[in-house]
Structure 1
Amino acid sequence: MITSSIKYIHPLKTNATHNRSGNSLITDAPIDNNGEGAYFSPTDLAATSLASCMLTVMGIYADQNNLELGEIKCDLQKEMAANPRRIKVITINIDWKTNLPENEIQKLKNVALNCPVSKSLHPEIEQNISFKML
């Protein structure tokens, strides 16, 4: 099954539709690459996918093990390299308020750090991940 369909919209935007749900999103080229920066850029989505994947697999693990994940959110920063133009560094700061025992926290951190998106990104992309326990 086709996962998504993407259509180019001039100038420098795309509209991507998730075929199963019909949900869609728009991307725009970033300001530093001839765009308006009005929407997520494709590289913004790549970086954001890493954080979303980490939190998702943590939730899956917690559900499968009857654990209460607690409150968890994160902020990320993406840094670009020039030659070639690519994502250079993704920094994710995770704020986590939980009552889980330390051994479960460590298991969940490991699950997050080994999520499918993390393992799919090019090894030259530096991933700086920090967990701040609240």
Structure 2
Amino acid sequence: MKTSEITYTGDLRTTSIHVKSGKEIITDAPTDNQGKGEAFSPTDLLATSLGNCMLTIVGIAARNHGFNIDGTKAEITKVMAENPRRVSEIHVELHFPDNNYTEKEKAIIERSAKTCPVAYSLHPDIKQEITFSY
């Protein structure tokens, strides 16, 4: 089964439909690459996917080990490089609202975040800088 369908709608914009749910994502080219920057760029989505994946996998691990990460936030910073234009670094700051995690739970959190599927799928030349704030 297809994952998504993407339509180029003009003016450097795409609309992506998640086939199973019908949910929609719009992307624009960034302002530093001839775009309007009115929505996520494709490279923004790449960087954001890392944070989404980390929180999802940590959430699964937390559920399996009997603790909660509800309210945890991720702040993502994407760094671009030139020649060729590409994502060179992704900085992920994970902020946990509960500061009462045990050392074992913190180890589970950090191991889970760093081993999410998106982290493993990114090219090794893309630096992943991950910080955890409890």
Work out the CA distance in 1 between the residues paired with 2:26 and 2:14.
5
Partner of 1:104: 105
Extract structure 1 runs of 4+ deviating beyond 4 A.
none
Give TM-score, length-normalised by structure 2: 0.95
Offset at residue 23 of structure 1 (A): 0.3
Does the CA contact (< 8 Å) of 1:69 and 1:100 recur in 2? no
- In the TM superposition, residue 66 of structure 1 has moved relative to its aligned partner by 2.0
Provide the alpha-carbon RMSD of the alignment: 1.0
Q: Distance in 1 between matches of 2:26 and 2:102?
A: 41
Counterpart in the other structure of 1:87: 87
- For structure 2, which runs of at least 5 residues remain unmatched after alignment? none
TM-score (structure 1 length as normaliser): 0.95
Overall identity of the aligned pairs, in %: 45
1:4 positional shift? 0.3
- The answer for the alignment partner of 1:119 in structure 2 is 120
Is the partner of 1:71 in helix, strand or coil? coil
**What aligned pairs does 1:42-61 form with structure 2 within 5 A after superposition?**
42-61=42-61
Alpha-carbon distance change, 66 to 27 in structure 1, aligned in 2, over 3 angstroms: same
Task: Give the Å deviation of 1:70.
Answer: 4.6
Distance in 2 separating the partners of 1:108 and 1:17 = 31
Q: Which moved more, 1:40-49 or 1:85-94?
A: 85-94
Q: Secondary structure at the match of 2:106?
A: helix
Q: Tell me the distance in 1 between the aligned counterparts of 2:111 and 2:83.
A: 32
Distance in 2 separating the partners of 1:69 and 1:132: 12
Q: Structure 2: which amino acid aligns with 1:100?
A: Y
CA distance, structure 1, for counterparts of residue 123 and residue 68 of structure 2: 32
Q: How do 1:5-44 residues align onto structure 2 when only pairs under 5 Å count? A: 5-44=5-44
Task: State the shift of 1:69 in Å.
Answer: 2.2
**In the alignment, residue 118 of structure 2 is paired with which amino acid?**
V
Contact 2:61 2:108 in 1 (8 A): no
